Amino acid sequence: MKIALDAMGGDFAPQAAVDGAVLAAQQLAGKARIVLIGQEDAVRPLLEKHGAAAAELELVPASQIIEMGEHPAKAYQQKQDSSIAVGYRMLHTGEVEAFCSAGNTGAMLVGAMFSVKPVPGVMRPAIANFVPKLHGGLGILLDVGANAECKPEMLEQFGELGSLYAQYVLGIDKPKVGLMNLGEEEGKGTSITQAAHQLLKVNPHIHFIGNIEGRDLFNDKADVIVCDGYTGNVMLKMAESIYDIMADKKMQDPFFDKFNYEAVGGSPILGINDNAIIGHGVSTPLAICNMLLQGYQMAHSGISDQIKNTFKS
């Protein structure tokens, strides 16, 4: 099995990408190979510094870079030899089974939509993120930004996508799906969440436990937290800022330490035909390594086939 990494993506690329890839290659030895995609001149010397360990990695050349500030769709179209475009091409042809990048988020989404494409039946793929649970384990929160505005049917599908991920990748049996809302009662919320509640309630593929509130993000009420991308994005960035404030204050705690994005590594795009993960722009080698391990877990679990099978019917 091969897992690809955009060696040019992220604020500290290619250094952090190469270092993270080497770390991941050690942990995945015998199970998967890491494929670095990027400018050979820049990546090769960094890789060689790692000596023998570097021999475990492959390097696939890509001459162009989509910068962080570039217009995603334009850049993706114009830079067909960018590391992101090459990565998606390899993913699409099956040369690699997962593609990870800490680069331009919008370009990663564009590639997902136009190269590997949404699974038939999925209205709109979602970006998922993970929240640490007080009593251990992770919950999955989606959407966190791919779709600012959502129809009720999209929220229903996010419940299904998140539930499949929780089951097959996180290993949660019969994951509890909750709808983020401003009250627990069924009639609460916007017209969108009210309608989504009714759809989720009768969906046979999931275990819907009803509305949850902002205070339930970290408790055990729900394993899968469904919301529109606007709300999910606000919650995610708020949680990140709390971690940053605590880190500045040198406050340490085993639970709050898990708010650190490095611990998980990346945000999978769910509902597309292959496994793609978007990393944080400031990704460190540890974050890159964890993103690659997550890519391996996704590929190993067969999550994208599970999604295809569920939405085929």
Q: Note whether 312 and 121 are within 8 A (CB).
A: yes
Task: Kindly tell me which residue out of 14, 20, 145, 265 binds a copy of itself, with binding defined by CB under 8 A.
Answer: 145
Least Å distance between CB 117 and a copy of itself? 24
Is residue 238 close enough to count as binding a copy of itself by CB under 8 A?
yes
Least Å distance between CB 149 and a copy of itself? 5
Residues 6 or more apart from 162 whose CB is under 8 A from it?
126, 128, 140, 141, 142, 175, 177, 224, 225, 226, 270
Is residue 55 close enough to count as binding a copy of itself by CB under 8 A?
no
Is residue 67 close enough to count as binding a copy of itself by CB under 8 A?
no
Partnered with residue 211 across adjacent β-strands are 179
Is residue 230 close enough to count as binding a copy of itself by CB under 8 A?
yes
Is residue 14 close enough to count as binding a copy of itself by CB under 8 A?
no
Q: What whole-number distance in Å separates Cα of residue 217 and Cα of residue 188?
A: 18
Which residue stretch of 25-33, 119-127, 180-188, 289-297 sits at the interface with a copy of itself (rule: CB under 8 A)?
180-188
CB of 129 or CB of 304, closer to a copy of itself: 129
Task: Kindly tell me which residue out of 27, 77, 78, 219 binds a copy of itself, with binding defined by CB under 8 A.
Answer: 219
Distance of CA 124 to the CA centre of its chain: 15
Residue numbers 247-286 binding a copy of itself by CB under 8 A = 249, 251, 253, 255
Is residue 104 close enough to count as binding a copy of itself by CB under 8 A?
no
Q: Which residues bind a copy of itself (CB under 8 A)?
A: 134, 145, 148-149, 180-182, 188-191, 193, 213-219, 227-231, 233-242, 244-245, 249, 251, 253, 255
